[in-house]
Each structure stands twice: as structure tokens, then as C-alpha cells.
Chain A
Amino acid sequence: MTHLNFRRRGLAFGLSGAIMALAAPTLSYAADPEVLTLYSAQHEQVIDMLTAAFTKQTGIKVLSHAGEGPDIAHQLVQEGSASAADIFLTENSPELVLLDEKKLLAPVDPKTLAAVPPQDSPSSGHWVGVLARENVLTFNPKLIAETELPASLLDLADPKWKGKIAIAPSDSDFLPLVSAVLVLKGQEATLAWLKGLKANAQVFDDDEGVVAAVDRGAAATGIINSYYWARLATEQGMAKTQAQVYHFDNGDAGALVNISGAAILASSKNKDAAQKFLAFLVSKPTQSMLAASDVDFEYPLAAGVPVNAMMKPRSELHPPVISLEALGDDQPAAALLREAGLI
């Protein structure tokens, strides 16, 4: 009986030991200089490519945590100085502007900043532009001819577009577009435009949903980043893809080019390794790898790296001229979206 008893007690210790053993590996992240923690709002496939290449090159491991830009920014604000994050890599600039306003970011190495055009990084030097993505209108030629498409994004609020447009106001890519309209046209016009969209548009959760809806003919047009059209076309095959891309022109708000950027958290204890990662991101080999990958469809910012062949060359785009600081932190845009009843 004692033997049995001992065995059972062993089981109890074993059980609690197992819980601890299973839970332990992630309970403690000390500031190991060979491990970086990356919070990312980029697609995980892109992150995996980047971190694998970086680890191969430097021997520094990267742990990543994925989410959407605004929720990660919110998380970083809440975590404050105790955050596990060393680096934040995002899809759009406003989240970085917000964190910079909250004094949560550390200065980026000037050599890294010099690798990309100065207008694609903020004047504070607290984060660096890495890639750019273009806003476009996707359309289904079976439902609407290219010649009927509007000259401006703002025309889509006109009642004649009722039922012909798909949008994803809760996608983090939509907010910067609203911020751009706000800068160019002012508060009142933006709200009127959003209310028009609310009346006209089918609402989806994200850009992937919008482009898929246009592709299957559930909506004639949709507001997306060109990235998502390229992704759908790659996965389905171009021959099977109905949706096409229409570029706004003449500096229209709809032609906005967003900057994907990266920053080092002021609270990071691994700033040297983090600086290496940022330098790696804007280096020519990394940017060429991304552009050639058929995984990422953003515009490389390093000089002399051509964009993926599916995309229209950046020199042929005519985006509105809005500085990163003027585009701001998306907070007024979010308030207007709410006021218009879109989110």
C-alpha cells in the first residue's frame, strides 16, 4: 500500500510538474542579446521570410507576435516600458506616428535612415520607412467598364454608385485613406463622403474580403491596396482572376501611397541587435528578396530595387503629396468613421 500511495503521490507531483514544464519555456524572456522580439502588423508569410533570412545572416533569433497595426499600437501603449517588444514593424505609418507622439520610440541609426528617400521616413528620425503600398480601386469588368470608373475616390459617395462598391472600413489600410481625404478636403467634406459611402457600399471585414467579393461578382468595384489584388491573382492564377485594378490619377486622395515602417521601442534592452534588424530591412538584398518573392507586393524603398513585375512601377504613380506628419495618427479618421456609422 505504501508503494501504491507513493506512486499516486508521484502522479500528483508529476501532474503539477508537467503543467510547470509545459508553461515554463514562455514564462521568462530575459533580455537575451541573441533573441529579438518583433511585434508585427505585416503578413506572417513576409515576416517569416524576413526573420529566417536575418537569422541566417546574423545568428540573431527573432520571435514574432502578429496582429493588426492599431491593436498592436494599443497593446504597446498599454504595455508601456515593460513591453517585451524590441521592434514594431507595421503596414501603415499612422500607428508609428502615434507611438512617436507617445514618446515610445527610440532614434533610428542615421545610416539606416539614409538608405531610403528622406520623405518616406519622419523628420523625427524615430522610425524608418521600409516599403510602400498603393491604394487602388479594384473592379470586375463583367459588371462595369473601365471607362465608367470615377476620376476621384470622392465620386464614390455619389448616389449613382449605390450598391456598386465594396469597402473594408475596419481594415487598418482604410484609416490612412480617410486621413488623406481629411488632409486634402477638410472635416466636413470627409464626413459627407463617408456618409455617402455608408449609403452606397457593401461592408467587408478586410481588403481580402473586398477583392474576393469583386472577383466573384458580388460587387462591381472595391477600395483596396493593390497588394491584395496581387495576392488573390497569384493564389488563383491570373487566368482565373476576374478582378482588375484601376489606378486613381492626378494626385487624387484615392491614389495615396502608404508607407510601411519599422521602429525600435524606447524600452528595448536589445537596441544594438534591433538596429541591425532595421538596417537589414532597408538593405538592397532584403528589399530585392521581397520584391522578387511573389509573397509581398509592396514597393521597395531602397534605391534601384524594382518592384514585383505584377505591379505598376512607382514612377508611373501619381499619389497626392502629403507628408507623413500631415497624414497623422489616424485618430481623427477613426472618429469620423464612427460618426458616419461605418465602424
Chain B
Amino acid sequence: MRWKPSRPIPAALLAAALLASLLVLAPIGWTAVLAWGVGAAGARMLLFRPLVGELLVNTLALISCTAMVATVIATAAAWCVERTDLPGRHIWAVLAVVPLALPSFITSFAWVSLSPALQDFGGALLVVTSSYFPLIYLPVAAALRSMDPSLEETARSLGLGLWQVFARVTLPHLRPALLGGILLVALNTLTEFGAFALLRFRTLTTEIFAIYRTSFDNSEAALFGILLILLCVLCLMAESWSRRQARYDRIARGVVRPASRVALGRLRLPVLAGFGMLSLVTLGVPFGMILYWLTQHNSAATSVAAANLPDVLSATWASLRLALGGTAVTMALALPLGFLATRYDGRLVALLERTAYLSQGMPGIVLALAMISITITLLRPLYQSAFLLMVVYAVLFLPLALVSVRAAFGQVQRGLEEAGRAAGLGWFATVWRVLLPLAGPGLGAAAAMVFVSVITELTATLLMAPIGTRTLAVQVWANTTTLAFAAAAPYAALMAALSLLSAWVLARRFGLVRGV
């Protein structure tokens, strides 16, 4: 690929894309510089101590166990939904994805308030598995759907049993989907903060917060931050490698014929019971516990601290305000970058786009600490401002927005834009009057997804909310960490409702979940 694009890039567009890259790279660079300050001897002392070993073991053991359990559950569920005559499979397909819309620290709040006995490895495994198994379910179900059924049918006709077909034909086809899903689970587990902090389960991420709380020095937290970034980037690289690997394509083009479904027969009831259990654990308990604590409102439990209506309203407004602003800033960064990536070529463009995706490897806590440190040192007017928090949201969710923005722009026929240019419009006018209206629905979906993500974001909000601002997430956190479960419930309920509602609208409007 050449550095120079075949068409010149307008300066304003290039500047906007460079700004986005700078916002992603600056916190990483700042963290690295702070960590450098520890020095070689200091770093050796800090990194090679028993505590770090324990944290790594905790984190890695949790990731591997979650990956195993979630793989089994997700694959079994996806196969039953896509390949059997399971009754009500459209509903089960939706229920298997809904946990994604429930923030994992809300799930964590629910389980911890059910029993403090879950404040352990078992509890952490339970919470992350039930929050993240849809990340494996979704790609596996999609792979099953797009697989040519004649492969499985041929294997059956050659005399293989159901299990043998699954193991020898289906599973190899699912491997890329499974691997991708597992790496996403690993990445989420590495960066998860709220769920583990409430469960009092210690990982590298919670330790960074603990160091920040007790230390008078930025550099130690930065050193752990760099370590965490490295692990995340490793996951990302493996994920993109797995996507390039082993792709199974059908040679015949056209619509895939749906696979014939296996009759469950006597297994119907046990399988239904299994799906019932899954939904009970992933959705029933969280919602049940929120409702339980809501009804405890006027009894003994409120004595620790009661939520009152003005507080609930002001937290809701704060959450909405930050989410709207955060979405606007995110889209302002994603639009030029997405346009650049779909309409121009050259190595520079590819580099800019990849830099934006790099922010997936930056945990919220590391980003927040870096931005606090940067603004306190260099950009005082932005320090503690709502705008800075919105920018942090934008960096966190830029990759999410960029995927959809890119897809939306990609679907617009270039010919229409060229017609616009031929009619005498400048490039900006073409974008504004031709491209944006055509790509509108896709861009709307991107904005909606960012909105949901910001509403449910905890870590950066907790560290960076402007003085006097308390969002729904911050209130759930403040109450749950001080064991005031009943006081946390109204905030948790509102947050779950807002998040589910937006997800539902998104699914209805854009058909992101099949069968809705």
C-alpha cells in the first residue's frame, strides 16, 4: 500500500481524524511516561512481588474458567436454537442476548445483595459468565446460520451420528466464531472493574484502583496500567489474527437454505428446563433482586440510607445529560474517521483507523487516570469538567461507533456522491447533503449503541464526574459499596430499564437481534 492516497484528503477531514488518533494515543503515551518514572529497579520491585503473581493468577484463572463455561453454555444454546425444533426458540434467542444490555456491575450488585457468600472466585465466575456468554452466543449462532447445511447432511448420510457430525463437521466450522467470542470475553474480563470491585474479587484492574486510592504517587498505578494495556492489546491482536485465520466460505452464492432441524423428542423437557435455568440465572436473579430491594424500601433496610425522589431524578438527569453529550462527542470523532476510512486509501488512512481501534485495549480506569493527570498538569480549564468526561467516553466508545459508521458509509453507493460532485457541490456539501441522509439509519444505530454504553459506564464516571454530579451508575456504586442495597435499588432499576429500553428500540429499529 502506498502512503499517499490516490485522491488528496481535505485538510479539515485529515485534521479531525488526527485529533481522534491523538486522543487515543495521548493517554497511552502519558501512562507510559509516568510508568517510566518508576525506573528499572523500582519496576522490578513492584512487578515481581507475590501480590502481582496472585492478581495475575486470579485474573487468568477467572478468564480461563469463564471462557470454558461460557463456551459450553453458549454453544449448546446456539445449537439448540439454530438446529433443533426447540419450542419458543425465537424468544430464547432474544433472552440469550438480553444479558448484554444489563451492565455487569448491576448483575454483581444483585448477586452480592442476595448473599455475601458470593464474594469470591465462584461469585466472580458466576457474574462474568452470565454477563458475557452472549459475546460467544452471538457469533456462534451467526456461524451456525450461515453454514451450508449440505455439509452436515452429507455427513449424516455417510452414517455419522449427531454427536459425530457436531464434533467433526460443525465444531471445526464454529472455531473462528468461538475463538473470536472467547477473546472478547477475555478482553472484557481484563478491563471489568465495577463487577469485581463490588464482589471484592481482586484483579489487576481493581488493584489499579486500590493503588490509586492509597498511594501518593501516580507512577505505580501507571506501571500496572501499562501491564494491563499490554495484556489487552495481546487479546486484540489474537482476536484479529483469529478472524483472518480459517475462514470457511461456501462456493455457491445466493441465499443459504435453512438447515433441517433435529427433533428433540424426549429431550425437549430437559432442554427447555436448561434454557429456563439459564434465563433465571442471567436475568431472573438480577431483576428479582432489584425488585426485592425496591419493595424493602420502607422497612428496616432503608435505615442505612434512603434514596429519595429528588436524588433519583437528579441522578437520572445527570446520566442522560452526560450520555447525550458523550454520544455527540463520540459521533463527532467517528464520522470524519469513518468517512476517511471508506472514501480514501493509502497507508496513512489505514494507520489512522487502526489507531482508533487501539482504544479497545485501554481499560477505562487507565484512561481516566491518565486524562485526570494530563488535565491537572497541562489543561487546567478542562480538569473536572463534564466536557472532559464526555471526551473520555468518546475515546472509550470510538471503536464501537466506528464499526457501525464505517458500515453505514460503506453501504452508500459512491456513484451518488460522484453525481453530487458533478452537480457542482464541494466535498463538504456532498457529505452533508448526499452521504449523511443516505447513511442516516446506520449512523443512528451507532449513536444509539454509544448512548447505551455511556449510560452503563461506571469506571470513568466514578473517577471523573464533575464535582456535585452523581449519575445513576455512581449512586449504585456508592450505595452498594457501603452495603446499602435498598438505597441502591431505585438507581439500579432505572439504569437497567434505560439500558434495556434503548437496546429494545435499537433492535426493533435496526433488527440487530434476529427474531425480535
Contacts and interface: CB of A to CB of B under 8 A. Distances in A.
B303 interface: yes
Contact of B433 (A5, A70, A204): A5
B324 interface: yes
B482 A216 contact: no
Contact of B482 (A5, A45, A84, A175): A45
A48 B308 CA distance: 11
B214 A234 contact: no
Given A18-B325, A294-B303, A26 B386 contact: yes
A170 B386 contact: no
A26 B483 contact: no
A22 interface: yes
A8 B466 contact: no
Interface stretch (B66-74, B204-212, B269-277): B204-212
A235 B213 contact: no
Q: How large is the interface on B (under 10, 10 to 19, 20 to 34, 35 or more residues)?
A: 35 or more
Given A22-B325, A45-B484, A235 B467 contact: no
A224 to B, nearest CB: 12
Contacts of B217: 74
Contacts of B206: 205
Contacts of B482: 43-45, 208, 231
B390 interface: yes
B78 to A, nearest CB: 36
B321 A22 contact: yes
Contacts of B211: 170, 343
B210 A215 contact: no
Nearest to B432: A8
Contact of A65 (B200, B383, B468, B478): B468
A206 B325 contact: no
B355 interface: no
Interface in A38-84: 43-45, 48, 63-68, 70-71, 73-74, 77-79, 82, 84
A216 B483 contact: no
A304 interface: no
Nearest to B320: A22
Contacts of A79: 376, 383
Contacts of B328: 15, 18-19, 22
B304 A235 contact: yes
Interface stretch (B87-95, B114-122, B253-261): B114-122
Contact of A231 (B49, B304, B325, B433): B304
Nearest to A25: B386
Nearest to B296: A235
A234 B467 contact: no
B197 A23 contact: no
Interface string A1-20: 00011001100100100110
Contacts of A317: none
B202 A203 contact: yes
A63 B157 CA distance: 73
Interface in A129-148: none
A25 B380 CA distance: 17
Contacts of B213: 67-68, 70-71, 170, 172
B301 A19 contact: no
B49 A205 contact: no
A231 B483 contact: yes
B50 interface: yes
B210 A27 contact: no
Contacts of A208: 200, 481-483
A257 to B, nearest CB: 21
A170 B216 contact: no
Contacts of A331: 216
Contacts of A154: none
Nearest to A27: B385
Query: Which of A44, A64, A342, A343 has most chain B Cβ within 10 Å?
Result: A44
B214 A19 contact: no
A203 to B, nearest CB: 7
A213 B199 CA distance: 11
Contact of B210 (A29, A73, A231, A343): A343
Contact of B212 (A9, A71, A78, A82): A71
B387 interface: yes
Given A18-B328, A237-B300, A218 B484 contact: no
Nearest to B212: A71
Interface string B111-143: 000011101100000000000000000000000
Contact of B386 (A27, A205, A213, A216): A27
Q: Most A CB atoms within 10 A — which of B116, B328, B381, B384? A: B116
Given A26-B386, A203-B202, A68 B214 contact: yes
Contact of B483 (A218, A232, A334): A232
Nearest to A5: B433
Nearest to B391: A23
A79 B375 CA distance: 10
B150 interface: no
Contacts of B116: 212-213, 215-216
Contacts of B324: 18, 22
A23 B325 contact: yes
B467 A64 contact: yes
B51 interface: yes
A4 B434 CA distance: 12
Contact of A205 (B197, B300, B486): B197
A209 interface: yes
Nearest to B213: A68
Nearest to A212: B116
B296 to A, nearest CB: 10
B481 A294 contact: no
B329 interface: yes
A71 B464 CA distance: 13
A71 B214 CA distance: 6
20 contacts: A22-B325, A22-B386, A23-B387, A29-B467, A37-B467, A45-B304, A63-B468, A77-B216, A78-B376, A79-B383, A84-B384, A172-B213, A205-B197, A205-B206, A206-B200, A209-B200, A213-B200, A216-B117, A232-B483, A334-B214
Given A45-B484, A170-B213, A216-B117, 13 more contacts: A5-B429, A44-B482, A48-B305, A74-B216, A175-B214, A205-B206, A212-B116, A213-B119, A216-B119, A231-B482, A235-B301, A235-B485, A294-B303
Per CB-CB distance, the 3 closest pairs between chain A and chain B, nearest first, are A63-B468, A45-B305, A22-B325
